[in-house]
């Protein structure tokens, strides 16, 4: 990831792509969840289109046991947040950057935390917001997609089940993450558990039933 990021930051895109190609050809991602996280994160950094970058970063964050590798995960979240900021997708960028800042601070990686804070300021937010109670509610479809993602399904699998394209599923998840205040799919389950489902109005049939009894 260091080599790929250095190449991208110095305008040597061909070298960054060559590093990613070497990673893919060696198939090191199959060796461990950490290497899968690093491989996908590196590919996301080097991606030549925003759409490809988002898909790769999302895939990286969905790697099973990614949370075991706190530093590598935080680096991927930082890189993802940087890309989202350049895309002007600021709300989603803040979610990723805030998660990276918190992780780096827990590990005492101060230079990395400072870098993430600088990126967060560039989004127009001066510091991470903790414990916000003004999170927007989920729509019925967003909740369904979030529940399926929390169960471990990929965007493609969710799309096949709901007759949506993987890109549409990814778009919904981009809106869900900041609404729930999370940055990874692994955090969805706990976040959803703390958000009660919407309750609709009492059905007229139920009302008439009660009135009949009385």
pTM of structure:
0.68
Let me know whether 112 and 165 are in one domain: no
Q: Which residues of 119-134 are buried (b: 16+ CB within 10 A; e: fewer)?
A: bbeebebeebeeeeee
Kindly report the CATH number assigned to the domain that includes residue 117.
1.25.40.10
Residue 152 resides in a domain: yes
**Residues in the chain, overall count:** 214
Residue 127 resides in a domain: no
Please say if the pLDDT value at position 62 is more than 90.
no
Long-range contacts of 196-201 (CB under 8 A, 24+ apart): 197/143, 198/137, 198/140
| pLDDT tens figures, 119-135 | 999 998 877 665 444 45
CA dihedral 18, 11, 45, 91 (to 10 degrees): -170
Question: What mean pLDDT is reported for the chain?
Answer: 84
Let me know whether 88 and 180 are in one domain: no
What share of the chain in percent tops pLDDT 90? 48
The pLDDT, as a whole number, for residue 183 is 75
Q: Which two tokens stand for residue 137?
A: 């509610």
Last residue of a domain, one of 90, 122, 154: 122
Number of domains in the chain: 2
Let me know whether 17 and 62 are in one domain: yes
């Amino acid at each position: 990831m260091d080599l790929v990021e250095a190449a991208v930051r110095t305008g040597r895109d061909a070298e960054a792509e060559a590093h990613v190609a070497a990673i893919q050809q060696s198939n090191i991602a199959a060796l461990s969840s950490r290497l899968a996280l690093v491989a996908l994160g590196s590919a996301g950094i080097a991606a030549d289109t925003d759409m490809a970058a988002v898909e790769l970063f999302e895939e990286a964050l969905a790697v099973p046991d990614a949370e075991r590798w706190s530093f590598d995960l935080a680096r991927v979240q930082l890189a993802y947040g940087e890309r989202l900021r350049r895309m002007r997708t600021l709300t989603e960028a803040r979610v990723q950057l805030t998660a990276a800042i918190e992780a780096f601070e827990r590990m005492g990686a101060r230079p990395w935390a400072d870098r993430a804070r600088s990126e967060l300021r560039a989004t127009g937010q001066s510091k991470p917001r903790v414990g916000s109670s003004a999170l927007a509610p989920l729509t019925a479809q967003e909740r369904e997609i979030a529940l399926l993602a929390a169960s471990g399904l990929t965007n493609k699998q969710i799309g096949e089940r709901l007759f949506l394209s993987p890109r549409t599923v990814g778009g919904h998840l981009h809106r869900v993450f900041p609404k729930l205040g999370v940055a990874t799919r692994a955090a969805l389950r706990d976040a959803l558990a703390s958000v009660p489902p919407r309750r609709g109005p009492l059905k007229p049939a139920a009302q008439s039933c009660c009135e009949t009894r009385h």
